[in-house]
A and B are shown apart, each in its own frame.
Chain A
Amino acid sequence: MYGLETKLWIEKKSVLGKELATILVGLGALRFGDFTLTSGRRSPYYIDLRLLPSYPSALERIADMYVAVMENEIGVSGLKVAGIPTAGLPLATAVSLRARLPLIYVRETPKLHGEMKMIEGVLSEGDEVVLIDDLATTGGSLLKAASAVRASGGHVAHAVVLIDREEGGSENLASAGIELHAVSRISDLLSWLEAVGGIPADKVDTIKEYLKEVRGK
C-alpha cells in the first residue's frame, strides 16, 4: 500500500488536474470537433495553449503545477530544466523562475554558423536535466530533445508535461529510460470535465471511443 505522503499527493494532484481543466476552459484552450494532429492522426479534441502568453497569472499558476509535480515525483534539488521550443520554452522559463532552477533549452534548428550546437545555456557532463514541454502525444519531440541533451553530456531520466495525451508517449519515453510525468492525464481531465457537463453531449461518445483506441495501442 501507499504511504500517507503518496496518498496525499495523489489527492493533491487530482485537485491540480481539476484546476488545470478550469484554467484551460477559461482560456478556450480545450476544443472539441475534428482535428488533424501534426502526426496526421485525427483527434476529436485539441489543446491549444496559444492564448497562455496573454495571461501571465495563468502561466504562473501552471508553472507552479509543474513545480509541484517535480517536487513530489522527482525531487528538484540539483536539477536543470530544459525547455523545448516553441511551447515548452516559456513554460520551462516560468518553472525555472518559480523553483530557482537553472534553465537550458534545446534549439529548434542548429546554428548554421559556428559549431552545430543544439543546446543553449550551461550544460556540463553529468548534469541532471528534466525536460519540460506542454503536451506529450507519442513523445517524439521529447525523445528528440533528450537525444540532444544526452549528446551534450546531460543525464535525462524525467520529462514533465502539463497533459499526457496517452498516445504512447509514456511507453516510448520509458523505453529510452525516461519517466513521463504529467500534471494530468487527458483521460482524467476529460472524465472530470464530462462529469461537470463541460463536454458537449454529442461529443462525449466519440471522445471516449478515441481515448479507448489510443490508450489500447
Chain B
Amino acid sequence: MSDRVPRIAEILRRRNVVKQGSYLLHLGNSSEFYVDMRTLPSYPDDFDEVTSALADLLRTGVGEFDRLVGIGDGAAPFTVAVSLKLQKPYAIVKKMEAENSFRDPLVGELHPGERVILLDDVASTGVTLACAAAMVRALGAHVDTAVVLVDRELGASKLLSTMGIGLLSVLRLSDMLNARKSS
C-alpha cells in the first residue's frame, strides 16, 4: 500500500490530472486545485496500473461485498476496470447534476439486501458520494464503504461518516502535493 502511493502519485502527476487555478466546488466552496481524472483512461498502461491499485485496495480493505456501484459516466471506466479485475458485478448510478435526467437513475441491477461498495475517482466535499449513497439505500442495498482513487480532504470523510460510511482512498491529494514538492 505505502509503496504504491508514490508510484500512483507519479502517474497522476505525469498525466496532469491536478490542475491549478480557482475552481468552484459544491456547497459554495472553492479550491485552488482541480482534479480531473477523465483523461486517465486514454493512457491504457497507466489506467491499468491505477485501476489495479483500486482493485488491490478493495481486495484487502473492505471485506466481502456483492457489487461495485460507480458514480456517473466519469467513474464508469474505473468501475468497469475494477469489476473485470475482481470479477465482481457493477452498476452505475447517475450523478446528481442539473444536466442529467433521472428517468433511469441506475444502469445495471441492484438487489435489496446487497452490500455494495461505492466507487468514484475523486472525493471532494462528499456531496456526490452522499447523494449516491442515499439513492442506493433507497433502492434497498447496504452501503458502509466508499472507495476513491484520490481523497481531496475537503470534508468527504466527515460527511460520509455521519451516514455511517467509511471512506477509503488510494491516496490523498496532500500525498500528491508532497510528492510533487519532494521531487
Contact = CB atoms under 8 A, between A and B. Distances in A.
Interface of A: 50-57, 59-60, 80, 83, 85-87, 89-90, 93-94, 96-97, 100-105, 107-113, 120-123
12 contacts: A51-B108, A52-B108, A59-B80, A86-B104, A89-B76, A89-B77, A107-B73, A111-B99, A113-B24, A121-B41, A122-B43, A123-B42
Interface residues of B, number: 34
Contacts of A123: 42
B81 interface: yes
A59 B90 CA distance: 11
Nearest to B48: A97
Nearest to A60: B84
Contacts of B67: 54
Interface of B: 24, 38-39, 41-45, 47-48, 67, 73-74, 76-77, 80-81, 83-84, 86-92, 97-100, 104, 107-109
A87 B104 CA distance: 12
B47 A51 contact: no
Contacts of A59: 80, 83-84
Contacts of B91: 53-54
Contacts, number: 106
A74 B154 CA distance: 46
Contact of A53 (B89, B97, B104): B89
B42 A102 contact: yes
Contacts of B48: 97, 100
B56 to A, nearest CB: 16
Given A100-B45, A111-B99, 7 more contacts: A50-B107, A54-B89, A60-B84, A86-B104, A97-B80, A100-B44, A121-B39
